[in-house]
């Protein structure tokens, strides 16, 4: 199971964590893991482009991103919302493989 957790404080997104594996296919050939990885890594790159990333920790089966509090909250919010829309599509197709936890929803 892939778990995506969004962290919020005082109404602002402070980061997100993605961990686990879907187990749908073999390593390197799992379309669910590949989709989740592509979406979350692209979001991380977009956030870094706007200098909104405080820290990134990644390892096999883990992506942990801490975000800066910034005056560019609209850019941060748009990128995270787009990421969550894509992840929710995957979650709808594979509900036993992906779970999203977001205290705002």
Q: What is the pLDDT of residues 19-28, one digit of tens each?
A: 999 999 888 8
The closest of 30, 8, 27, 7 to 18, measured between CA atoms, is 7
The domain segmentation of the chain, as residue ranges, is: 2-101
Q: Strand, helix or coil at 82? A: helix
| Phi, psi dihedral angles at 56 (to 5 degrees) | -130, 130
pTM here is 0.92
Check residue 73 and give its pLDDT. 83
Counting as low any pLDDT under 70, the low residues of the chain are 105
CATH class of the domain defined by 2-101 = alpha beta
């Amino acid at each position: 199971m892939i778990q995506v957790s969004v962290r919020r404080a005082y109404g602002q997104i402070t980061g997100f964590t993605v961990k686990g594996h879907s187990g749908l296919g073999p390593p390197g050939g799992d379309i669910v893991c590949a989709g989740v990885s592509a979406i979350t890594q692209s979001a991380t790159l977009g956030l870094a482009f706007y200098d909104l990333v405080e820290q990134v920790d990644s390892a096999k089966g883990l992506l942990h991103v801490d975000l800066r509090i910034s005056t560019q909250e609209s850019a941060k919010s748009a990128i995270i919302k787009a990421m969550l829309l894509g992840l929710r599509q995957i979650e709808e197709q594979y509900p036993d493989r992906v779970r999203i936890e977001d205290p705002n929803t």
